[in-house]
């Protein structure tokens, strides 16, 4: 049965391995100083402490040596080198070597071409940023003018239709639009004129030729009469005697007389 594959510990260089190893040794020294405090007499070393320090250093070195097959340095597998008997000291003393590839003229030409393409596209984008708003504004203005012209044509057509209806289907080219007056409208389309009942010819003359006060008083009387006619029709359908209508008309006449005396 094949053993499961585990991802290896990835290091960038042997300096990373040396850093980890040095930190492990420094931490072991701190622990030794904690449990075996230094003696006041520095002339002689503590044999117990020296023995423990040696055993701890040996354990740390064995641990890192056993971990070498599970470490990859700069993408290179160290397991093949470990089979040949590589030691931890060899890895710690190994120095990085800078390798240079031979100059590739085709690759350099490809890079130059890509940079030229990038510059061309950048110039195109800058040109579009300058020209696109102006083109969009001109196009919008043209669309707006076309829409206004279409509306003007439609309004002119509606006016021509109205004139055509006014003259009863006659040719409008022989007519002048400025010649339209009330007489022609009364002759061709009398239903367009709003006719208010004045009651008598005298009241009509006062409306046309009277003073402002008289016109105002006549207006009040006309409104009262119109209101009385509308109220009369409503009261006739609701009640039989019509007394309510008579009282309203009488009050309205009194109000009109008061206004005339002002």
Does residue 113 carry a pLDDT above 90? yes
Residue 2 lies in a domain: no
| Boundary of a domain, candidates 93, 108, 125 | 93
pLDDT at 1 over 50: no
Q: Is the pLDDT of residue 232 over 50?
A: no
Mean pLDDT of 115-126: 94
Q: Is residue 125 part of a domain?
A: no
Q: Is 73 exposed, middle or buried (0-12, 13-18, 19+ CB in 10 A)?
A: buried
Q: What is the pLDDT of residue 75?
A: 73
Please identify which residue in the block is written with the tokens 């850093």: 19
pLDDT confidence of residue 13: 79
Whole-prediction pTM value? 0.35
- The structure tokens 């990859």 sit at 72
Last residue of a domain, one of 47, 74, 93: 93
For residues 240-261, give the mean pLDDT.
61
Integer angstrom CA distances of residue 32 from 35, 60, 90, 106, 175:
5, 14, 27, 61, 122
Residue 170 makes CB contacts below 8 A (sequence gap 6+) with 164
Joined together, the tokens standing for residue 27 give 């931490």
pLDDT, mean of residues 200-212: 65
Mean pLDDT, range 219-223, rounded to an integer: 74
24 confidence band (pLDDT: 50, 70, 90): very high
The alpha carbon of 173 is separated from its chain's Cα centroid by a whole number of angstroms, namely 54
Domain total of the chain: 2
Residue 2 has pLDDT above 60, yes or no: no
**Cα-based torsion angle of the residue sequence 235, 239, 245, 247 in order, rounded to the nearest 10 degrees:** -160
Residue 7, pLDDT score? 80
User: Does a structural domain hold residue 144?
Assistant: no
Rounded to an integer, what distance in angstroms lies between the CA atom of residue 207 and that of residue 202?
A: 9
Length in residues, the chain: 262
- Average per-residue pLDDT in the chain? 73
pLDDT digits (tens, 9 = 90+) for 87-111: 677 667 666 666 678 888 999 999 9
Average pLDDT score over residue span 135-141 = 88
pLDDT at 10: 84
Which backbone phi and psi does 118 adopt, to 5 degrees?
A: -60, -40
Give per-residue burial for 113-137: e unless 16+ CB within 10 Å, then b: eeeeeeeeeeeeeeeeeeeeeeeee
Would the pLDDT of 242 be above 60? no
**233 within domain boundaries:** yes
CB 218 within 8 A of CB 208: no
Among 93, 108, 134, the domain-final residue is 93
The band of 213, judged by pLDDT with boundaries at 50, 70 and 90, is: low
- Residue 82 domain boundaries: 9-93
Weakest-pLDDT range from 89-93, 153-157, 193-197, 232-236: 232-236
Q: Is residue 148 part of a domain?
A: no
Using 50, 70 and 90 to split pLDDT, how confident is the model at 174?
Answer: very low
> Is 82's pLDDT higher than 60?
no
Per-residue pLDDT band for 79 (boundaries 50, 70, 90) equals: low
The pLDDT of residue 83: 47
pLDDT of residue 18: 86
* 184 domain-assigned: no
Instruction: Please tell me the predicted confidence (pLDDT) of residue 243.
Output: 56
Evaluate whether residue 222 is within a structural domain. Answer: yes
What distance in Å separates the CA atoms of residue 121 and residue 115, rounded to the nearest whole number? 10
Mean pLDDT over 126-134 rounds to 89
Domain contains 245? yes
């Amino acid at each position: 049965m094949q053993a499961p594959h585990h991802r290896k510990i990835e290091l960038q260089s042997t300096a990373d391995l040396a850093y980890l190893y040095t930190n492990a040794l420094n931490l072991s020294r701190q622990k030794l100083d904690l449990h075996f405090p230094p003696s006041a007499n520095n002339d002689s070393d503590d044999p117990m402490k020296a023995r423990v320090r040696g055993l701890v250093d040996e354990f740390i070195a064995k641990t890192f040596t056993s971990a070498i097959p599970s470490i990859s340095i700069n993408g290179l597998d160290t397991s093949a080198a470990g089979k040949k008997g590589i030691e931890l000291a060899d890895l710690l003393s190994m120095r990085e070597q800078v390798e240079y590839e031979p100059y590739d003229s085709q690759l350099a030409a490809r890079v130059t071409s890509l940079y030229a393409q990038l510059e061309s596209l950048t110039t195109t984008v800058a040109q579009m940023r300058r020209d696109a708003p102006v083109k969009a504004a001109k196009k919008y203005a043209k669309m707006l003018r076309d829409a206004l012209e279409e509306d003007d044509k439609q309004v002119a057509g509606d006016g021509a239709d109205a004139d055509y209806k006014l003259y009863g289907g006659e040719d409008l080219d022989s007519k002048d639009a400025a010649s339209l007056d009330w007489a022609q409208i009364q002759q061709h389309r009398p239903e367009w004129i709003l006719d208010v009942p004045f009651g008598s010819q005298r009241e009509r003359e006062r409306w046309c030729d009277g003073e402002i006060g008289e016109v105002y008083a006549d207006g009040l009387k006309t409104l009262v009469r119109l209101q009385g006619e509308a109220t009369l029709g409503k009261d006739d359908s609701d009640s039989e005697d019509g007394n309510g209508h008579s009282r309203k008309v009488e009050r309205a006449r009194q109000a009109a007389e008061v206004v005339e005396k002002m």
